[in-house]
Structure 1
Amino acid sequence: MPGSMSKLGGLAVGLLAPARSGALSNQIRGVVHRSVLRLPPDHPDPWDYKHKGFNYIDGLKDDTQAHLHQNSKLIVIEGNIGSGKTTLAKQLADQLGFVHFPEFRMDDILIDRYGNDLRNYYSKFPARYRLPDISMFYKNPSGELSAAMQDRIFNCRFDQYLNALAHILNTGQGVVLERTPHSDFVFANAMRDKNYIGHEYFKHYYFVRKNALPQLHFWPHLVVYLNTPTSKCLENIKRRGNTDEIATVDERYLKTIEESYKDSLREYRNHSKILAYDWTKPGDTDAVVEDIERLDLDFFEWHSGDVMEEWNTIVDSIGWNGWRQYVTNKYDARMLAFDGIPKHEVGELYTNPRDTGHFLHVMRKEVLKSPYGYGYIAKNGDHQAGTTAWHTGHNLPEPWYEYYFREAYYDDLTSHETSLDLDSDSYDPDYVHHHH
């Protein structure tokens, strides 16, 4: 039956909360359709965290708990490639009044604020800095940079998840997010099974994952899983008409993802509510909304398991403001997740220091055409910023960034060549031809 609840490998994943009756029923405040959401007259306006950031001083004048209401929830849509996640995610967000966060794509970090598409400069970059987008990956999935791409995607999913949490805590608006860093391993498994990534990186990936996920702290309130047969996914992929994708994402690749999702759902089940649907034929979004409205996504007791625990163990405004700053700033989370993890034994992630120097030369001479970093190039219309533009964790003029690896990373890259040659006068356009 289309849109029906399902079981996967003996794992019951249709965890609908039973309807309650009696005195308690009036106390349940579940997620509701946006048309019936009623907020008090003194509900605060959303905090403009993208332009203001959020710090301790801000917490004195804007209380986090005051923003939160019954629809301040994180809903995650999971499913195989070609399962129909995006369509459902958009429709759910529209009906519930949530904001939709599409699945992260490499394109999101390969075009900078000035409109420079870094892929247009790949012929000038050292090979290690030509990270594939999804189309490039499909053309050459066994390429030397597939592991580096997967490593970058996990980093960016980590950032995107923090962005979703920041949006909820700063505005009160719920978020519908496609995929999370928690489920990202289903792709690492599929890539390893097809030998697109090597054993060294595969071990490194799981080491990083184990270290990084606890730094996110909050798990989704609800995971909606679309159980779409691999044959149907293949049909949908072929309908898209990308011959490279069709060749790479074959039945074996999709089967590995499907099997890996069973482990992912078991992990989610310890922390989140789960709704799973047979999505052989796309189901009715209205019915999914009704199922969500019947769930109690606020209930937690210490002896009832860990589901919803992370959202219910913060009891005062100081604690909430602290977590709000943590997920908005992202600096501490990223430092705890990724700093200090050695990569010297992972050949697929190795970067020659000379290559980094040349990359910076190309950025200065060819891409930015300036010795200055993002946000500080006057000829591009940037406002001149002084010492007040400094922020913990990065040197961008803005207090908030979407993805570290879009622009913030540029401030942290250093090399002997460029530190001693601020104007890149030693730039050698033929470096790539000499060294590759």
Structure 2
Amino acid sequence: MKYHYITIEGNIGAGKTTLAHLLAKQYNARLVLEEFADNPFLPKFYENPGQFAFPLELFFMAERYKQLKDLIHTKDLFHSVTISDYLFTKCLLFAKVNLPEEEFRLYQRLFEIIHQQMIQPEILIYLHAPVQKLQKNIRKRNRPYEQQIPDEYLFSIQETYTHYIKQHNIKTLFVDASNADFLGNEKHLKAILDALDKEYDEGQHFIALP
């Protein structure tokens, strides 16, 4: 295996966690999954974004930092590969969409202090799916507080991610996940496995699923 720290990212409902589980099984990897269900502000945020966006994002940043610091900085004698279903920079990207300007500037200052201590993944897999596909996946997994997410919000998150990826030289596999079915279609998973078997320069590398 060429990469020892792989991160999977994408919009809400893109299939990050499903792919992370499958890759972890394939590579006998240590799996780092975002513990979003522990955030008490998440249901409240979807009901009243203006009131709960700042505590929501602070809680997420603290939890992600604690989780990644504990797992990435601790050697695991039984796993040579670590796979995560989120990038720590996700904190800043969602905060940019969710927070008003003054709160975002404060949040950004805190983020930059913490971010310096984090290890960047060796390669990022970004799952890019149209909003219609995202909404279908969101309905399918049936988390009550997600069922009323507007298309406009998903578009904003999508644009923020793609802008970030274009502006940074992180080694990225940009996957067209429009019709992705990693659980049901072995060829889709194999396309990712084959891609991870290659060396890449920094920047974006586009992967089309068969």
Q: Which TM-score tier does this pair reach, normalised by the shorter chain? A: 0.7 to 0.9
TM-score by length of 2: 0.82
From 71, 85, 110, the counterpart of 1:208: 110
Structure 2 partner of 1:253: 153
From 37, 44, 48, the counterpart of 1:140: 48
> Distance in 2 between the 1:89 and 1:166 partners?
20
The 1:86/1:242 distance shift into structure 2, 3 A limit, reads: closer
> Distance in 2 between the 1:174 and 1:155 partners?
24
Q: Give the greater-gyration-radius structure (CA).
A: 1
The 1:279/1:204 distance shift into structure 2, 3 A limit, reads: same
The 1:241/1:98 distance shift into structure 2, 3 A limit, reads: closer
Indicate yes or no: 2:101 matched with 1:199. yes
The 1:170/1:243 distance shift into structure 2, 3 A limit, reads: closer
From 137, 140, 147, the counterpart of 1:239: 140
Say what the alpha-carbon RMSD is for the aligned residues. Answer: 2.4
Q: How many residues of Structure 1 are paired with residues of Structure 2 in the alignment?
A: 196
> Distance in 2 between the 1:275 and 1:215 partners?
24
| Post-superposition offset of 1:186 | 2.2
| Post-superposition offset of 1:184 | 2.1
> Distance in 1 between the 2:144 and 2:80 partners?
39
Cα contact 1:186–1:256 (8 A) shared by 2: no
Counterpart amino acid of residue 40 in structure 2:
P
Structure 2 partner of 1:276: 174
Q: Give the 3-state SS of the residue equivalent to 1:78 in structure 2.
A: strand
From 190, 194, 198, the counterpart of 2:97: 190
Structure having the larger proportion of residues in strand:
2
Structure 2 partner of 1:289: 193
Q: Give the 3-state SS of the residue equivalent to 1:224 in structure 2.
A: strand
Q: Give the 3-state SS of the residue equivalent to 2:31 in structure 1.
A: strand
Counterpart amino acid of residue 89 in structure 2:
H
The 1:280/1:132 distance shift into structure 2, 3 A limit, reads: same
From 20, 30, 36, the counterpart of 1:99: 30
> Distance in 1 between the 2:83 and 2:190 partners?
15
The 1:242/1:96 distance shift into structure 2, 3 A limit, reads: closer
Gaps spanning 5+ residues in structure 2: where?
A: 182-187, 204-210
Gaps spanning 5+ residues in structure 1: where?
A: 1-30, 32-69, 108-130, 193-197, 297-303, 307-436
Structure 2 partner of 1:165: 72
Q: Which moved more, 1:169-178 or 1:286-295?
A: 169-178
> Distance in 2 between the 1:209 and 1:106 partners?
22
TM-score by length of 1: 0.42
**CA deviation string 1:190-238 (max 9, x = no partner):** 213xxxxx4332111112222221222x210010000111121112223
> Distance in 1 between the 2:202 and 2:137 partners?
38
| Post-superposition offset of 1:305 | 7.8
Counterpart amino acid of residue 159 in structure 2:
E
Q: Give the 3-state SS of the residue equivalent to 1:186 in structure 2.
A: helix
